[in-house]
Amino acid sequence: MDLPLTGKTAIVTGSSRGIGASIAQRLAADGANVVINYHGNDAPACVVTNTINNREGGKAVMIKADVATIAGGRMLLEKSIAKLGVPDILVLNAGVLGHRPLAQVDEEYYDQHFNTNVKGPLFLVQAASQVMKEGSRVVFVSTTLTKATTILPMGLLFTASKGAVEHLVRVLGRDLGERGITVNAIAPGPVDTPLFRDGKPPHMVQWVAQLHPQKRIPMPDEISPIVAFLAKEESKWINGQTIHVNGGFAV
């Protein structure tokens, strides 16, 4: 029996590690051929690609591109089409999570967050939507912190940029929905990834864990199945929504 995503092609931005790597592996396990996108050191991307290609299911290719830039996103799309064909699934996962108080926010720091978390993804969707077919899926990765009553210290621009993403999803869901392309977001709470742990002392990580009813921080493979569901035929009546996947961290 065919796997549910057999014959589908997926692009997952920022998929060499963390949530993105888990999403790519889950989509491949469900049968999709997946583009592993990375920017920088290729070693983690090689690990993810080899892991997928040594298992049953879809296969993976690696493409280096800086998706914080419009040109980088277009290059990723062009190379993906050349290698695997037109994408049926586009997951906008690449992101920046910085920690600065307001007094230390400057224009470069601002641009880093909004270029990576908002501008790059938007223009990649714009380009991809011109070739994606009816029934295709677009999934953004946002954050529950946009609605959490307890905001992580110094998360101003990360939270603001992800808030922008959620409003993009609402409008794009109506826009692309007219062509049978659904656009949704998942909004995890804190997830145990290198991005989350970067710059945080152990006591802060433990403090965040205690904010969850389960008193722990989830792993990426507890998030990726929701993206896989949104990529499938069964999710076709979910559109323009942000799905909170946080174990009760924020309700």
Residue 189's pLDDT is 87
Helix, strand or coil for residue 34?
Answer: strand
| pLDDT tens digit sequence for 143-165 | 766 665 556 667 889 889 998 99
pLDDT value of position 152: 61
Q: What is the dihedral of CA 229, 184, 149, 107, to 10 degrees?
A: 130
pLDDT values of the chain reduced to their tens digit, one per residue, 251 residues:
689 999 999 999 999 999 999 999 999 999 999 999 999 999 999 999 999 999 999 999 999 999 999 999 999 999 999 999 999 999 999 998 888 999 999 999 999 999 999 999 999 999 999 999 999 999 999 876 666 555 666 788 988 999 899 999 999 999 999 999 999 999 998 899 987 888 789 998 999 899 899 999 999 999 999 999 999 999 999 999 999 999 988 88
Which residue intervals of 134-201 are DSSP H helices? 156-177, 194-197
Residue 13 within a domain: yes
Residue 153 belongs to domain with CATH number: 3.40.50.720
Give 246: exposed, middle or buried? Use CB within 10 Å, 0-12, 13-18, 19+.
buried
DSSP 118: I
Establish if 203 belongs to a structural domain: no
- pTM for the model stands at 0.94
Domain that holds residue 140: 9-190+220-245
- Give the count of alpha carbons within 13 A of 63, CB side only: 25
Q: What is the pLDDT of residues 23-66, one digit of tens each?
A: 999 999 999 999 999 999 999 999 999 999 999 999 999 999 99
Looking at the structure of the chain, the number of domains it has is: 1
